[in-house]
């Protein structure tokens, strides 16, 4: 029996996560879902956005399914990623048939460094006038990411990945990142192509079909994956995984979407596709492929939520997928 810790969070997380869980439950697998929560709502009640009891439940879990957290996001998702020692955030962006994508040829994956960069929280207010932030890049984290990227491209039958960086400006930090990733790739017989991240943002918009796997530092990965979301039809479609050595956390790329929260119309596909990544991770690859295929079919039939021009609500999309399963 696999144990999945379910943390819906706030906003539309409270709508899309239960919808995705319903889909997985319909498969009748040996999975136990353990309910917990974290985020703004929990902070209001307990004073703590991520209670220690929830953090302690991580140790007993095979994987975590997370929705989104509001203002307290940094106090929830960063400690959770740290708890599982997550070193890579995998963010696929694919344009699906039937979805009005800006760039229908997009089918790429962003492998984002997940533990350092500008997310280490080393910020200070030096004076009334000045504030600073320390950006951390280590050889260890860059190597772990690169090793994962090499395995990933080989699994996909590819032989190269693109390294996004800005070592023309951040010469020492991104210099270390780029050199480390290149050296690990070359040791693994994988080719790399180097791309300055701002120019890459433009090229991804113009020629997304040229990119399959993009490996980048933390903040660049965050920004480029939202850009990729724009290419394929919006944030409602992008799943992600945060991989650690013994556990992984799966979550949609989107946040709490306060503008539509509570209306029951959030697109659950990003979260359902995140659970597909989770099923693969815990050894249910065939079932993951089935749910993915049916989700794509549902999209192509136009049975979608309003963000994609459809008339369905969150539960309606989940019910459609379940009926097809
Ligand atoms: P947060 O501060 O939690 O990140 P946000 O509104 O700044 O929230 P997102 O939640 O990522 O950022 O959403 C950005 C916009 O994308 C929202 O305004 C919403 O309209 C749209 N959006 C995001 N996710 C979905 C979804 N699952 N279904 C439909 N629309 C979505």
CB 224 within 8 A of CB 199: no
131-165 as b/e: b if 16+ CB within 10 A: eeeebebeeebbbbbbbbbbebbeeeeeeebbbbb
pLDDT digits (tens, 9 = 90+) for 100-109: 899 999 999 9
* pLDDT tens digits, one per residue of 251-292: 999 999 999 999 999 999 999 999 999 999 999 999 999 999
**pLDDT, tens only, 156-187:** 999 999 999 999 999 999 999 999 999 999 99
pLDDT of residue 38 exceeding 90: yes
pTM for this model (two decimals):
0.93
The strand ranges marked E within 176-238 are 191-196, 213-216
Spacing, Cα 282 to ligand 1 middle (Å): 28
List all residues whose CB is within 6 A of at least one atom of ligand 1. 12, 16, 68, 70, 235-236, 254-260, 266-267, 270, 305, 307
Q: How far apart are CA 267 and CA 298, in angstroms?
A: 12
Position in ligand 1 atom list of the atom nearest CA 12? 27
Ligand 1 geometric centre to CA of 44 (Å): 22
Q: 160 by DSSP, 3-state: which?
A: strand
Instruction: Indicate if the pLDDT at residue 51 is higher than 90.
Output: yes
């Amino acid at each position: 029996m696999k144990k999945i810790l379910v943390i819906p969070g706030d906003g539309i997380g409270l709508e899309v996560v239960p919808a995705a869980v319903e889909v997985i439950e319909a498969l009748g697998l040996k999975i136990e879902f353990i309910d917990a929560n974290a985020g703004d709502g929990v902070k209001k009640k307990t004073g703590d956005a991520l209670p220690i009891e929830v953090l302690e439940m991580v140790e007993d879990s095979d994987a975590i399914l997370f929705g989104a957290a509001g203002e307290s996001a940094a106090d929830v998702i960063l400690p959770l990623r740290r708890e599982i020692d997550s070193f890579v955030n995998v963010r696929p962006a694919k344009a699906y048939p039937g979805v009005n994508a800006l760039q229908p040829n997009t089918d790429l994956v962003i492998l984002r460094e997940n533990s350092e960069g500008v997310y280490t929280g080393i910020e200070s207010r030096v004076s009334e006038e000045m504030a600073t932030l320390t950006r951390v890049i280590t050889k260890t984290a860059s190597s772990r990411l690169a090793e994962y990227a090499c395995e990933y491209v080989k699994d996909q039958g590819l032989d190269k990945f693109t390294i996004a960086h800005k070592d023309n400006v951040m010469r020492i930090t991104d210099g270390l990142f780029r050199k480390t990733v290149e050296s690990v790739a070359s040791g693994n017989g994988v080719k790399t192509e180097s791309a300055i991240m701002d120019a890459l943002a433009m090229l991804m918009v113009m020629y997304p079909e040229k990119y399959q796997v993009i490996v980048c530092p933390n903040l660049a990965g965050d920004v480029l994956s939202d850009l990729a979301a724009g290419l394929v039809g919006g944030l409602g479609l992008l799943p992600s995984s945060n991989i650690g050595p013994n556990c992984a956390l799966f979550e949609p790329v989107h946040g709490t979407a306060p503008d539509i929260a509570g209306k029951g119309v959030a697109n659950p596909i990003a979260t359902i596709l995140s659970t597909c990544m989770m099923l693969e991770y815990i050894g249910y690859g065939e079932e993951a492929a089935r749910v993915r295929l049916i989700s794509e079919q549902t999209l192509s039939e136009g049975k979608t939520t309003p963000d994609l021009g459809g008339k369905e609500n969150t539960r309606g999309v989940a019910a459609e997928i379940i009926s097809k399963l």
